[in-house]
Structure 1
Amino acid sequence: MNTNDTLSEVKNYIDGQFERNGQNSMNVFSPLDGSIISTLPLSTNSDVDKAVQAAKKAYPSWSSKTLKERVQVFFKYRNLLEQNMDELTKLVRLENGKTYSEAKAEVEKSMELCEFAVSMPQIVVNEVQEVSKGVECRIERKPLGVVASIAPFNFPNMVPHWTIPNALVLGNTMVMKPSELVPLSTVRIAELLKEAGLPDGVFNLVNGGKEVVEAICDHPDIQAVSFVGSTKVAKLVYKRATSNLKRCVALGGAKNHLIVLPDAHEEMTASNVLASMAGCAGQRCMAASVMVGVDNVQHIIDRMVEEAKALVPGDNLGSVITAESKARIEGYIAEAEANGAKILVDGRNVTVLGKEGGYYVGPTIIDYVTTDMSVAREEIFGPVISIIRAKDLDEAIEIENGSNYGNAAAVFTQSGGLAKQVMDRASAGMIGVNIGVPVPREPFSFGGWNESKFGVGDITGRSSIEFWTQNKKTTIKWNPEAKTNWMS
């Protein structure tokens, strides 16, 4: 695959081969300019079953290799990501609409995720103990078998790497379903995995829509499912997968609150809040969505308004994913204005010269938002921040706690004591202090609370080891002269 203006059609990748099988198809558009860049097969249950059977066939050989043997593939693969950095970056930009620097950062994060996976031999160590005289107990981590991963549109390169390296290094084989909006990066991932020496059938790729997701949740030979997407779909996937007796961790949406106190550093706070709001065009589950201003923070808001002028759609601000997304985001802004909020910076009706067909929304700052407004409660997934005014920190934390979501929360202050209150009381799985996007770095794991995550454990880092493996406990006795007791 290459990054020419028009790419070849997307195909499924099953048992080491790309194939189409003549299904119905849909067009794939670039949000940069609205052009058609590829076509995608709408796969069926039979395609999912074929991929599962390939993974099932590859499992005995792959799982029987030692952990150190399996990580060798990902040593090579991580270097291939680096060698193909520019191409992979351009693919992300083409199909997702990010700026070049954002897309490159995404691929660099994928490399970091691989680096954690290849450290597994130093992390996943079997436990052995003599529990009674002459009696030894041991615990070994064993893979589950065939697993599945369902990825979203907003990080077409990085989010697949939340699951591929860890799940495969730990001995599982996989069927992956990327978002039908951004299938190109995952195709290139499959090619590079093969180039790195991954045996055929260990990683399989099935493209399509709802039917593929349902088939994954229902297939009796799939042992575990990971999902990243909206809360609405995460709930459906979690319920369907677990009702079929599978493990499932499903990450949903977010409504992240950034609490700004009057003593916050003006320049750092304004730039951090804006970067959190507008990075990746606001299409990330860690984006700032609500700023809760405590007492008098007008000087910080004024600076945000001034600095927002430097965010230029099509230059240092990317596009949103579809025309429907653009219309939905602009609808939220219009509704807030009609309900009495004040639009300080208006990103509606943006066009980019030479890319008039693209899907762009400018930076938008909405002040005097109340907690009952849709912009305060619902996930917008665009470069929009709503400002709610609070009289004190207790009220600000109450506003944050009132959200159904719980992915991230942050506080901007120079007071360690006040920061500690937010750290302790905010109802979110990931907390930032003077950091607008508090994403943990490996080996720390990624995962929210409340309606931002369904299932036990997190999807990355050390926590993912529990999800992708099961414990085998063995008790051993060789010496007949040892006394027999209740342990033996």
Structure 2
Amino acid sequence: MKYSPVQNFVGGQFVPSDTRRFLNVVSPLDGEQLSKVPVSSAADLSFAVAAAKNAFPAWSKTPIKERVQVFFRYKFLLEQNLRELAELVHQENGKTMSEAVAEIEKCIELTEFACSLPQLITGEVLEVSKGVECRTEHVPLGVVASIVPFNFPSMVPNWTIPNAIALGNCMILKPSEKVPISAGRIAELLKEAGLPDGVFNIVHGDVEIVEAICDHPDIEAVSFVGSTKIAKIVYQRATHNYKRCLALGGAKNHLMVMPDAIPSMTAQNVAASMSGCAGQRCMAASAMVAVGETDHIIQKIVEEAKKMVPGENLGAVINKESKERIEKYITEAEQQGAKVLLDGRGAKVNGKEEGTYVGPTVIDYVKPEMAIAKEEVFGPVISIMRTKTVDEALAIENANPYGNAAAVFTQNGGVARYIMEKASAGMIGVNVGVPVPREPFSFGGWNESKFGVGDITGKSSIEFWTKLKKTTVKWNPEAGVNWMS
């Protein structure tokens, strides 16, 4: 193994799990075993929750301007260790180094936002009657948990860690068992930045730990990022146990391309959106709706996609099961009458024959009823459906159950505005293939892409990670009493 076995992180130190079950951590790049990760038990979780609960009183009473000093230092450490952190992401997830570097740069931006929280939660004070004041303040919840996926080993944990902890909570992180190594390095950097022991903890495992998090009576809130199927289960189970829950699910993002779109810009954006991170992101463009005469743009999209070379500027998919599932979608669509313009099946990289790669794939004449048009493929594949009108394109977009993102490529402001208003998605792009908001704007979709209230990042996350305390104060008995006091 390239790295020592992964351990849980509890009370400021790495500790072994009490389990005898371990899973291999394998690099999608070349099939090398990187490490092994414990399948922890509910007892391991309780141990971590106890540490977090013990740390909460002192941490929550620390003024927020002092709490964020930890994250000023953490931001510096992320910058200082950027290449090392990116290398970990590259190895365990399989994305390219440039994509891994971009992921850590996003972690830095997320942390930078957390440092601004003292200016965003100042509360309000108002004299509501003579001598009577009402005030509000944001109060931390207690012990919270964050369950994160494999596709962004550092970024998605940092969607929640800086904000939740800076706001005064103590956290349990449950990383994906497929990419557990980056989380341990995050823990080390937080400790180096001065975060008190017990405020941040990691428990590795599989479904048993997810269920235990949803059930544990001392965990107040749960965030989850993953597939819609599991997001629904987590949301139902956590809220059934009277916890706050924000569960982000899958997506089927549609790019609507108009005949007047600038061909070169559109092709570059579409190709990058469908193939970035090997298509393994919930903001990837996996469906394109070509409106009217757009053959000239589709041709350029194929030309741009051909520039994506597995093992060079196109990363691997996470494992063999994913590769087989993605290629099955392509084969089924072809058998049902779709035309494969660029075929990424059977991709191999010399010297990395055990790597799990899928080449860029462009499929035309896909019908909306095909599985590849309706389901989240999570690979570097784009399915092109053709319509005659904008309304037909919107009907396809709005018929899908998800609602993360939608985008339109056009030079017509009226058409852009029409789609911005009509598309049923939480994040809209105009001539932007991956319309992810930058901080302080929040990340979050609609429909079956999100379960719960609020968003997971940005200013919207404050409401999720805190509760509002309202205080009414009166010190002047001479003012008398009326209905307001």
Q: For residues 319 and 197 of structure 2, what CA distance do their matches in structure 1 show? A: 34
Q: Which residue of 2 aligns with 1:118?
A: 115
Q: Which residue of 2 aligns with 1:40?
A: 37
Q: Which residue of 2 aligns with 1:226?
A: 223
Q: For residues 340 and 405 of structure 2, what CA distance do their matches in structure 1 show? A: 25
User: Which residue type is aligned with residue 14 of structure 2?
Assistant: F
Q: For residues 172 and 328 of structure 2, what CA distance do their matches in structure 1 show? A: 37
User: Which residue type is aligned with residue 18 of structure 1?
Assistant: F
Question: Which of 430, 439, 445 matches 2:427?
Answer: 430
Contact kept in structure 1, 2:225 and 2:247, CA below 8 Å: yes
TM-score by length of 1: 0.99
Q: Which residue of 2 aligns with 1:272?
A: 269
- Asked if 1:19 corresponds to 2:19, the answer is no
Question: Which of 112, 134, 137 matches 1:137?
Answer: 134
Determine what percentage of the aligned residue pairs are the same residue: 68
- Asked if 1:256 corresponds to 2:284, the answer is no
Contact kept in structure 1, 2:273 and 2:285, CA below 8 Å: yes
Shift of 1:35: 1.2
Q: For residues 409 and 349 of structure 1, what CA distance do their matches in structure 2 show? A: 30
Q: For residues 424 and 370 of structure 2, what CA distance do their matches in structure 1 show? A: 20
Q: Which residue of 1 aligns with 2:51?
A: 54
User: Which residue type is aligned with residue 19 of structure 1?
Assistant: V
TM-score by length of 2: 0.99
What's the CA shift string for 1:257-313, capped at 9, x where partnerless? 000000000000000000000000000000001100000000000111112221100
Contact kept in structure 1, 2:18 and 2:44, CA below 8 Å: no
Q: Which residue of 2 aligns with 1:7?
A: 3
SS of alignment partner, residue 164 of structure 1? helix
Shift of 1:19: 0.9
Q: For residues 309 and 80 of structure 1, what CA distance do their matches in structure 2 show? A: 38
Q: Which residue of 1 aligns with 2:450?
A: 453
SS of alignment partner, residue 462 of structure 1? coil
- Asked if 1:384 corresponds to 2:381, the answer is yes
- Asked if 1:98 corresponds to 2:105, the answer is no
Q: For residues 345 and 199 of structure 1, what CA distance do their matches in structure 2 show? A: 52
Question: Which of 469, 474, 477 matches 1:472?
Answer: 469
Q: Which residue of 1 aligns with 2:159?
A: 162
Q: For residues 463 and 402 of structure 1, what CA distance do their matches in structure 2 show? A: 27
Question: Which of 145, 152, 171 matches 1:148?
Answer: 145
Shift of 1:483: 2.1
Q: For residues 308 and 274 of structure 1, what CA distance do their matches in structure 2 show? A: 5
Which runs of 5 or more residues in structure 1 are unaligned?
A: none
What's the CA shift string for 1:371-403, capped at 9, x where partnerless? 110010000000000000010101001110010
Q: For residues 391 and 409 of structure 2, what CA distance do their matches in structure 1 show? A: 15
Q: For residues 424 and 238 of structure 1, what CA distance do their matches in structure 2 show? A: 29
SS of alignment partner, residue 79 of structure 1? helix
Q: Which residue of 2 aligns with 1:442?
A: 439
Shift of 1:17: 1.1
SS of alignment partner, residue 478 of structure 2? coil
Shift of 1:480: 1.0
Provide runs of 4+ in structure 1 moved above 3 Å.
none
Shift of 1:79: 0.3
Q: For residues 261 and 475 of structure 1, what CA distance do their matches in structure 2 show? A: 57
What's the CA shift string for 1:306-348, capped at 9, x where partnerless? 1222110000000000100000000000000000000000000
The root-mean-square deviation of aligned C-alpha atoms, in Å, is 0.6
Q: For residues 230 and 443 of structure 1, what CA distance do their matches in structure 2 show? A: 25
User: Which residue type is aligned with residue 16 of structure 1?
Assistant: G
- Asked if 1:187 corresponds to 2:180, the answer is no
Q: For residues 278 and 448 of structure 1, what CA distance do their matches in structure 2 show? A: 21
Question: Which of 369, 375, 379 matches 2:372?
Answer: 375
Q: Which residue of 1 aligns with 2:403?
A: 406
Q: For residues 442 and 466 of structure 1, what CA distance do their matches in structure 2 show? A: 16
User: Which residue type is aligned with residue 334 of structure 1?
Assistant: T
SS of alignment partner, residue 460 of structure 2? helix
- Asked if 1:394 corresponds to 2:370, the answer is no
Q: Which residue of 1 aligns with 2:296?
A: 299
User: Which residue type is aligned with residue 306 of structure 2?
Assistant: K
Q: For residues 253 and 307 of structure 1, what CA distance do their matches in structure 2 show? A: 26
Q: Which residue of 1 aligns with 2:78?
A: 81
Q: For residues 306 and 443 of structure 1, what CA distance do their matches in structure 2 show? A: 36
Shift of 1:21: 3.2
Q: Which residue of 1 aligns with 2:27?
A: 30
- Asked if 1:200 corresponds to 2:188, the answer is no
Q: Which residue of 1 aligns with 2:173?
A: 176
Number of equivalences: 484
Contact kept in structure 1, 2:344 and 2:358, CA below 8 Å: yes
What's the CA shift string for 1:202-243, capped at 9, x where partnerless? 000000100000000000000000000000000000000000
Q: Which residue of 2 aligns with 1:327?
A: 324
Shift of 1:22: 4.3
User: Which residue type is aligned with residue 113 of structure 2?
Assistant: F
Q: For residues 422 and 353 of structure 2, what CA distance do their matches in structure 1 show? A: 46
SS of alignment partner, residue 105 of structure 1? helix
Q: For residues 21 and 72 of structure 1, what CA distance do their matches in structure 2 show? A: 32
